Amino acid sequence: MEPAVITVTLNPAIDKTITLPRFEVGGLNRASQIRIDPGGKGINVAKVLKKFGVDVLATGFIAGDQGNLLRNQLNERAIQTDFIHVAGETRTNFKIVDEEAGITTEINEVGFPISDQDITNLKERLRSYLSSNSVIVFAGSLPQGASDQTYYELIQFANQAGAKAILDADKAALREGIKAKPYAIKPNIFELEQLLTRKLDTDQKIVEAGKELIEQGISLIIVSMGSKGAIVLNQKEAYRITPFPITPKSTVGAGDSMVATLVYSLLENKNLEEIAKWVTTAGTITATKPGTEVCSLEEVKQAIHKINVKKLL
Protein backbone atom coordinates (compact mmCIF):
# COMPACT_ATOMS: atom_id res chain seq x y z
CA MET A 1 0.00 0.00 0.00
CA GLU A 2 1.30 3.46 -0.92
CA PRO A 3 1.95 5.68 2.11
CA ALA A 4 -0.33 8.71 2.43
CA VAL A 5 2.64 10.90 3.29
CA ILE A 6 6.34 10.89 2.38
CA THR A 7 8.91 12.93 4.27
CA VAL A 8 12.26 13.66 2.62
CA THR A 9 15.24 14.48 4.83
CA LEU A 10 18.37 15.07 2.77
CA ASN A 11 20.68 15.80 5.72
CA PRO A 12 19.37 13.82 8.73
CA ALA A 13 21.08 13.56 12.09
CA ILE A 14 21.29 11.75 15.34
CA ASP A 15 19.98 14.29 17.87
CA LYS A 16 21.85 14.11 21.16
CA THR A 17 20.14 16.18 23.85
CA ILE A 18 22.29 16.97 26.87
CA THR A 19 20.39 18.42 29.83
CA LEU A 20 22.36 20.41 32.40
CA PRO A 21 21.18 21.99 35.67
CA ARG A 22 23.15 25.07 34.61
CA PHE A 23 25.36 25.58 31.55
CA GLU A 24 28.77 26.94 32.59
CA VAL A 25 30.42 28.42 29.50
CA GLY A 26 34.14 27.63 29.66
CA GLY A 27 33.68 25.43 32.73
CA LEU A 28 33.07 21.78 33.56
CA ASN A 29 29.48 20.67 32.99
CA ARG A 30 27.95 17.42 34.22
CA ALA A 31 24.85 16.20 32.43
CA SER A 32 21.76 15.34 34.45
CA GLN A 33 20.19 13.60 31.45
CA ILE A 34 21.22 12.48 27.95
CA ARG A 35 18.72 11.56 25.23
CA ILE A 36 19.43 10.22 21.73
CA ASP A 37 16.81 10.46 18.97
CA PRO A 38 16.61 10.14 15.19
CA GLY A 39 16.62 13.72 13.94
CA GLY A 40 16.33 16.09 11.02
CA LYS A 41 13.29 18.18 10.15
CA GLY A 42 11.61 15.68 7.85
CA ILE A 43 12.22 12.86 10.31
CA ASN A 44 10.68 14.92 13.12
CA VAL A 45 7.64 15.47 10.89
CA ALA A 46 7.38 11.70 10.37
CA LYS A 47 7.58 11.08 14.14
CA VAL A 48 4.67 13.45 14.81
CA LEU A 49 2.58 12.00 11.99
CA LYS A 50 3.12 8.49 13.30
CA LYS A 51 1.88 9.63 16.74
CA PHE A 52 -1.17 11.07 14.93
CA GLY A 53 -1.89 7.67 13.36
CA VAL A 54 -0.91 8.68 9.82
CA ASP A 55 0.74 6.18 7.45
CA VAL A 56 4.10 7.81 6.66
CA LEU A 57 7.30 6.88 4.83
CA ALA A 58 10.60 8.53 5.81
CA THR A 59 13.19 8.71 3.04
CA GLY A 60 16.23 10.73 2.02
CA PHE A 61 19.91 9.93 2.58
CA ILE A 62 21.79 8.21 5.38
CA ALA A 63 25.44 7.21 5.76
CA GLY A 64 27.62 5.03 7.96
CA ASP A 65 26.90 3.42 11.33
CA GLN A 66 25.05 6.50 12.54
CA GLY A 67 22.73 6.20 9.54
CA ASN A 68 21.97 2.58 10.38
CA LEU A 69 21.25 3.60 13.97
CA LEU A 70 18.89 6.33 12.77
CA ARG A 71 17.00 3.97 10.46
CA ASN A 72 16.74 1.29 13.14
CA GLN A 73 15.40 3.80 15.68
CA LEU A 74 12.68 4.86 13.23
CA ASN A 75 11.79 1.25 12.50
CA GLU A 76 11.51 0.62 16.26
CA ARG A 77 8.89 3.40 16.27
CA ALA A 78 7.05 1.51 13.49
CA ILE A 79 7.89 4.26 10.95
CA GLN A 80 8.42 2.88 7.45
CA THR A 81 11.79 3.88 5.95
CA ASP A 82 13.43 3.67 2.53
CA PHE A 83 16.65 5.67 2.72
CA ILE A 84 19.45 5.75 0.17
CA HIS A 85 22.89 4.97 1.58
CA VAL A 86 25.67 7.33 0.55
CA ALA A 87 29.36 7.53 1.43
CA GLY A 88 30.49 9.19 4.67
CA GLU A 89 28.79 9.36 8.06
CA THR A 90 25.46 10.73 9.27
CA ARG A 91 26.00 13.77 11.48
CA THR A 92 25.26 14.28 15.16
CA ASN A 93 23.39 17.41 16.27
CA PHE A 94 23.87 18.41 19.89
CA LYS A 95 21.15 20.17 21.92
CA ILE A 96 22.46 21.58 25.22
CA VAL A 97 19.55 22.35 27.54
CA ASP A 98 20.23 24.80 30.39
CA GLU A 99 17.43 24.03 32.86
CA GLU A 100 18.02 27.06 35.06
CA ALA A 101 17.98 29.57 32.21
CA GLY A 102 15.41 27.70 30.14
CA ILE A 103 17.65 28.01 27.08
CA THR A 104 18.62 25.40 24.48
CA THR A 105 21.93 25.80 22.63
CA GLU A 106 22.28 23.83 19.39
CA ILE A 107 25.51 22.64 17.76
CA ASN A 108 24.94 21.01 14.37
CA GLU A 109 27.58 19.04 12.50
CA VAL A 110 27.90 19.48 8.73
CA GLY A 111 27.15 15.92 7.63
CA PHE A 112 28.02 13.83 4.58
CA PRO A 113 28.41 15.10 0.98
CA ILE A 114 26.11 13.99 -1.87
CA SER A 115 26.41 14.05 -5.66
CA ASP A 116 24.06 14.82 -8.56
CA GLN A 117 23.78 11.06 -9.09
CA ASP A 118 22.50 10.67 -5.53
CA ILE A 119 19.68 13.13 -6.28
CA THR A 120 18.85 11.20 -9.46
CA ASN A 121 18.73 7.99 -7.43
CA LEU A 122 16.38 9.64 -4.93
CA LYS A 123 14.01 10.70 -7.71
CA GLU A 124 13.90 7.12 -8.94
CA ARG A 125 13.17 5.94 -5.41
CA LEU A 126 10.37 8.50 -5.02
CA ARG A 127 8.82 7.57 -8.36
CA SER A 128 7.49 4.30 -6.92
CA TYR A 129 5.73 6.11 -4.05
CA LEU A 130 4.35 9.33 -5.54
CA SER A 131 0.81 9.65 -6.83
CA SER A 132 -1.90 12.30 -7.06
CA ASN A 133 -3.00 11.26 -3.55
CA SER A 134 0.42 11.85 -1.97
CA VAL A 135 1.53 14.62 0.33
CA ILE A 136 5.32 14.97 0.33
CA VAL A 137 7.32 17.06 2.80
CA PHE A 138 10.76 18.41 1.91
CA ALA A 139 12.35 19.75 5.07
CA GLY A 140 15.69 20.75 6.51
CA SER A 141 19.14 21.81 5.42
CA LEU A 142 20.89 20.67 2.25
CA PRO A 143 23.89 18.32 2.49
CA GLN A 144 27.34 19.24 1.26
CA GLY A 145 27.51 19.01 -2.54
CA ALA A 146 23.80 19.72 -3.05
CA SER A 147 23.03 22.72 -5.25
CA ASP A 148 20.72 25.52 -4.11
CA GLN A 149 18.27 24.24 -6.75
CA THR A 150 17.92 20.78 -5.16
CA TYR A 151 14.51 21.40 -3.58
CA TYR A 152 13.39 23.14 -6.79
CA GLU A 153 14.18 19.97 -8.76
CA LEU A 154 12.53 17.65 -6.25
CA ILE A 155 9.38 19.78 -5.91
CA GLN A 156 9.02 19.95 -9.68
CA PHE A 157 9.36 16.16 -9.77
CA ALA A 158 6.64 15.80 -7.11
CA ASN A 159 4.38 18.29 -8.88
CA GLN A 160 4.62 16.28 -12.11
CA ALA A 161 3.26 13.27 -10.21
CA GLY A 162 0.34 15.39 -8.96
CA ALA A 163 1.46 15.26 -5.32
CA LYS A 164 1.06 18.09 -2.82
CA ALA A 165 4.56 19.29 -1.92
CA ILE A 166 5.30 21.12 1.34
CA LEU A 167 8.63 22.91 1.81
CA ASP A 168 10.26 23.86 5.12
CA ALA A 169 13.71 25.28 4.43
CA ASP A 170 15.61 28.55 4.71
CA LYS A 171 18.04 30.85 2.88
CA ALA A 172 18.90 29.84 -0.71
CA ALA A 173 17.17 26.45 -0.42
CA LEU A 174 13.89 28.23 0.34
CA ARG A 175 14.43 31.02 -2.18
CA GLU A 176 15.05 28.58 -5.03
CA GLY A 177 12.57 25.96 -3.82
CA ILE A 178 9.55 28.28 -3.92
CA LYS A 179 10.20 28.89 -7.63
CA ALA A 180 8.89 25.35 -8.22
CA LYS A 181 5.56 26.39 -6.63
CA PRO A 182 5.19 23.99 -3.71
CA TYR A 183 1.67 23.68 -2.34
CA ALA A 184 2.67 25.09 1.06
CA ILE A 185 5.66 26.58 2.90
CA LYS A 186 6.32 27.20 6.60
CA PRO A 187 8.95 29.89 7.12
CA ASN A 188 9.47 31.41 10.53
CA ILE A 189 9.37 35.18 10.68
CA PHE A 190 13.17 35.50 10.54
CA GLU A 191 13.38 33.24 7.46
CA LEU A 192 10.62 35.22 5.74
CA GLU A 193 12.41 38.50 6.45
CA GLN A 194 15.62 37.01 5.06
CA LEU A 195 13.80 35.82 1.94
CA LEU A 196 12.18 39.19 1.23
CA THR A 197 15.10 41.30 2.58
CA ARG A 198 12.90 43.58 4.67
CA LYS A 199 11.57 43.90 8.20
CA LEU A 200 8.11 42.45 8.81
CA ASP A 201 7.19 43.95 12.17
CA THR A 202 3.39 44.12 11.86
CA ASP A 203 0.68 41.60 11.03
CA GLN A 204 -0.25 43.66 7.98
CA LYS A 205 3.30 43.52 6.62
CA ILE A 206 3.43 39.75 7.17
CA VAL A 207 0.13 39.23 5.35
CA GLU A 208 1.29 41.44 2.47
CA ALA A 209 4.52 39.43 2.27
CA GLY A 210 2.55 36.18 2.25
CA LYS A 211 0.29 37.45 -0.52
CA GLU A 212 3.36 38.22 -2.65
CA LEU A 213 4.42 34.59 -2.39
CA ILE A 214 0.88 33.29 -3.01
CA GLU A 215 0.83 35.33 -6.23
CA GLN A 216 3.90 33.30 -7.26
CA GLY A 217 1.87 30.08 -7.10
CA ILE A 218 2.00 28.89 -3.48
CA SER A 219 -1.40 27.88 -2.10
CA LEU A 220 -0.87 28.05 1.67
CA ILE A 221 1.66 29.76 3.95
CA ILE A 222 2.29 29.35 7.66
CA VAL A 223 4.50 32.02 9.22
CA SER A 224 5.59 30.85 12.66
CA MET A 225 6.57 33.44 15.26
CA GLY A 226 7.58 31.41 18.29
CA SER A 227 5.81 32.46 21.49
CA LYS A 228 3.84 35.07 19.50
CA GLY A 229 2.03 32.36 17.55
CA ALA A 230 1.54 32.28 13.79
CA ILE A 231 -0.13 33.84 10.78
CA VAL A 232 -1.70 31.39 8.33
CA LEU A 233 -2.99 32.47 4.96
CA ASN A 234 -4.11 31.37 1.51
CA GLN A 235 -5.39 33.29 -1.50
CA LYS A 236 -8.68 34.23 0.18
CA GLU A 237 -8.15 34.28 3.96
CA ALA A 238 -5.60 35.07 6.66
CA TYR A 239 -5.69 34.25 10.38
CA ARG A 240 -3.60 35.47 13.31
CA ILE A 241 -3.27 32.82 16.01
CA THR A 242 -2.08 33.70 19.51
CA PRO A 243 -1.11 30.69 21.65
CA PHE A 244 -1.83 30.07 25.30
CA PRO A 245 0.98 30.78 27.82
CA ILE A 246 3.41 27.93 28.47
CA THR A 247 6.67 27.20 30.23
CA PRO A 248 8.95 26.30 27.31
CA LYS A 249 11.39 23.42 27.80
CA SER A 250 12.77 23.03 24.27
CA THR A 251 11.73 24.66 21.01
CA VAL A 252 13.39 21.86 19.01
CA GLY A 253 10.74 20.22 16.84
CA ALA A 254 8.05 22.86 17.38
CA GLY A 255 8.16 24.00 13.75
CA ASP A 256 8.29 20.38 12.56
CA SER A 257 5.18 19.64 14.65
CA MET A 258 3.43 22.50 12.84
CA VAL A 259 4.35 21.03 9.45
CA ALA A 260 3.19 17.55 10.49
CA THR A 261 -0.09 18.94 11.78
CA LEU A 262 -0.58 20.84 8.53
CA VAL A 263 -0.25 17.52 6.69
CA TYR A 264 -2.71 15.86 9.08
CA SER A 265 -5.15 18.76 8.63
CA LEU A 266 -4.95 18.52 4.83
CA LEU A 267 -5.66 14.78 4.98
CA GLU A 268 -8.65 15.56 7.24
CA ASN A 269 -9.88 18.28 4.81
CA LYS A 270 -9.88 20.98 7.50
CA ASN A 271 -10.58 24.58 6.48
CA LEU A 272 -7.95 27.33 6.84
CA GLU A 273 -9.15 28.55 10.24
CA GLU A 274 -9.04 25.00 11.61
CA ILE A 275 -5.59 24.45 10.09
CA ALA A 276 -4.34 27.65 11.73
CA LYS A 277 -5.62 26.57 15.15
CA TRP A 278 -4.33 23.01 14.87
CA VAL A 279 -0.81 23.84 13.71
CA THR A 280 -0.27 26.55 16.33
CA THR A 281 -1.55 24.32 19.12
CA ALA A 282 0.79 21.52 18.03
CA GLY A 283 3.82 23.80 17.93
CA THR A 284 2.97 25.26 21.32
CA ILE A 285 2.61 21.86 23.00
CA THR A 286 5.86 20.56 21.52
CA ALA A 287 7.67 23.59 22.95
CA THR A 288 6.66 22.38 26.44
CA LYS A 289 8.42 19.04 25.89
CA PRO A 290 12.02 18.25 26.86
CA GLY A 291 14.66 17.56 24.20
CA THR A 292 13.19 16.45 20.90
CA GLU A 293 9.93 15.01 22.24
CA VAL A 294 6.84 16.01 20.27
CA CYS A 295 3.11 16.51 20.82
CA SER A 296 0.46 13.81 20.55
CA LEU A 297 -2.89 14.01 18.78
CA GLU A 298 -4.79 13.77 22.07
CA GLU A 299 -2.79 16.65 23.59
CA VAL A 300 -3.60 18.87 20.60
CA LYS A 301 -7.30 18.00 20.78
CA GLN A 302 -7.43 18.81 24.49
CA ALA A 303 -5.67 22.18 24.18
CA ILE A 304 -7.00 23.58 20.91
CA HIS A 305 -9.83 25.50 22.61
CA LYS A 306 -7.21 27.65 24.43
CA ILE A 307 -5.99 29.20 21.17
CA ASN A 308 -7.03 32.77 20.29
CA VAL A 309 -8.01 33.34 16.65
CA LYS A 310 -8.29 36.66 14.82
CA LYS A 311 -9.32 36.91 11.18
CA LEU A 312 -7.11 39.31 9.23
CA LEU A 313 -8.55 38.77 5.75
Q: Which residues are catalytic?
A: 256
Cα separation, 236 vs 222, whole angstroms: 14
Residue 69 — φ and ψ, nearest 5°?
A: -60, -45
Residues 171 and 254: their CA atoms lie apart, in Å, by 19
Q: How many CB atoms lie within 10 A of CB 238?
A: 25
Rounded Cα gap, residues 178 and 223, in angstroms: 15
**DSSP E strands: which ranges in 155-272?**
164-168, 184-185, 220-224, 230-234, 238-242
Spatial distance between the Cα atoms of 175 and 152, rounded to a whole number of angstroms: 9
**Residue 214 CB burial class (10 angstroms; 0-12, 13-18, ≥19):** middle
Q: How many angstroms separate the CA atoms of 174 and 66, rounded?
A: 27
User: CA-CA distance, 263 to 47, in Å (whole number)?
Assistant: 13
Strands 230-234 and 103-108: unpaired
- CA pair distance 65, 9, nearest whole angstrom: 17
